[in-house]
Amino acid sequence: MNKDYEIWSAEPTPENMSKVLSSLDNLVTAEASKYVGPGNLLQAKARRLAVDAVKSYTPGRGAALNTWVVSNLRPLSRYSNMLKPVRLPEETNRRVLETMRIRNEFTDQYGKEPSDEELADHIGISVPKIQAYRKKALSLRSEGSLDAIAENSESGGISPMVEENSRLPNIEDAVYRGLNTRDKFIFDNKTGKKTGIQLSNFEIAKRLNVSPTYISQRSEMIAGRIKDLSI
């Protein structure tokens, strides 16, 4: 029997669940690596399925915990198929992602989303082109393909960190303790919990000498870990 599972079963706190997931990390990683697709998305999905598996596991029914977890990771096959990228002309792919990146940087800097006219002027292309790229991005996101395309793009995708949920202080604390120094800095300044001031991706990026895209990606990773344990 997994000792961490026994501890969580006796005291099902977010911190104890985090320890169970850590003990299963190699198993979950190995299973996720069997499927084709963006590694970070498959790993995140695998972790969420593992959380569900741990919660639904009943000792004494024959299957070991590891075996139960593996059987509950089978939906990764369907998820992998959903992540298959849509083939786009390379230039269109680049333009769609670049437009998304600039839109988010504009929002971070000025505190509002740019109009199509402002974005067109900022980038130097026509308004109809902006509208076409936005429509394409929305279409790909609804199909579940945008993240897969962004994974293979130098520009990368932009996803904001989830809003702070005051009902999950223990979960956030458990995740926070496992972050490295840079990620803790990002979390502190995104939420304003320690600083008292919430900074934009653009402002945090300037302080760390990195791109706003990097801050968005790390924020999304942190939010994903919190979501994993809140399910």
Confidence band, pLDDT 50/70/90 cuts, at residue 109? low
Residue carrying the six token digits 């706190």: 13
Q: Do 52 and 231 meet the contact criterion of CB atoms below 8 Å apart?
A: yes
Window from 53-57, 107-111, 127-131, 216-220 with minimum mean pLDDT: 107-111
CATH of the domain at 42: 1.10.1740
Q: What is the pTM of this model?
A: 0.44
Instruction: Show the domain range for 134.
Output: 90-151
* Mean pLDDT value across the chain: 75
**Which one is predicted more confidently, 26 or 195?**
26
Do 57 and 106 lie in one domain? The reply is: no
Decide if 50 is inside a domain.
yes
Number of domains forming the structure of the chain: 3
In-domain check, residue 74: yes
Mean pLDDT to the nearest integer, 171-182 = 79
How far is residue 161's CA from residue 151's CA, in Å, rounded to a whole number?
18
On whether the CB atoms of residues 45 and 68 are closer than 8 A, the answer is: no
pLDDT at 117: 86
In terms of domains, do 61 and 96 share one? no
- The pLDDT assigned to 201 comes to 81
What was the pLDDT predicted at 108?
67
**Distance from chain centroid for Cα 229:** 13
Q: What are the pLDDT digits (tens) for 120-163?
A: 777 777 888 888 877 776 665 554 444 444 544 433 333 333 33
Does residue 163 lie in a domain region? Answer: no
Does a structural domain hold residue 162? no
| 103 shares its domain with 146 | yes
Q: Let me know whether 146 and 180 are in one domain.
A: no
pLDDT at 89: 54
160 lies in a domain? Answer: no
C-alpha 103/C-alpha 185 separation (Å) is: 24
65 and 20 in a common domain: yes
Same structural domain for residues 147 and 97? yes
Which is nearest to 229 in space by CA: 13, 7, 76, 11? 13
Tokens of 212: 């706003």
User: Are 178 and 139 in a shared domain?
Assistant: no
**Among 41-45, 48-52, 109-113, 227-231, the least confident range:** 227-231
Residue 168: per-residue pLDDT: 43
- Statement to judge: residues 180 and 218 lie in one domain: yes
Q: Report the distance separating Cα 58 and Cα 51, nearest Å.
A: 14
Q: Which residue has the tokens 């990368």?
A: 156
Q: What is the pLDDT of residues 52-100, one digit of tens each?
A: 899 898 887 778 899 999 999 988 888 787 666 555 555 666 677 777 7
> Is 136 contained in some domain?
yes
Same domain, 206 and 140: no
Both 102 and 134 in one domain: the answer is yes
Domain finish residue from 30, 63, 82: 82
Query: Hey, what are 78's tokens?
Result: 């369907």
Same-domain pairing of 7 and 59: yes
What CATH number should be reported for the domain holding residue 173?
1.10.10.10
Contact 102, 122 (CB under 8 A): yes
CATH of the domain at 144: 1.10.10
- In terms of DSSP H, where are the helices of 33-89? 39-56, 65-71, 76-82
Q: b/e map of 52-65 (b: 16 or more CB within 10 Å)?
A: ebbeebeeeeeeeb
Mean pLDDT (whole number) for 201-205: 84
Average pLDDT over residues 5-14: 88
Helix axes 169-177, 212-230, angle to 10 degrees: 120
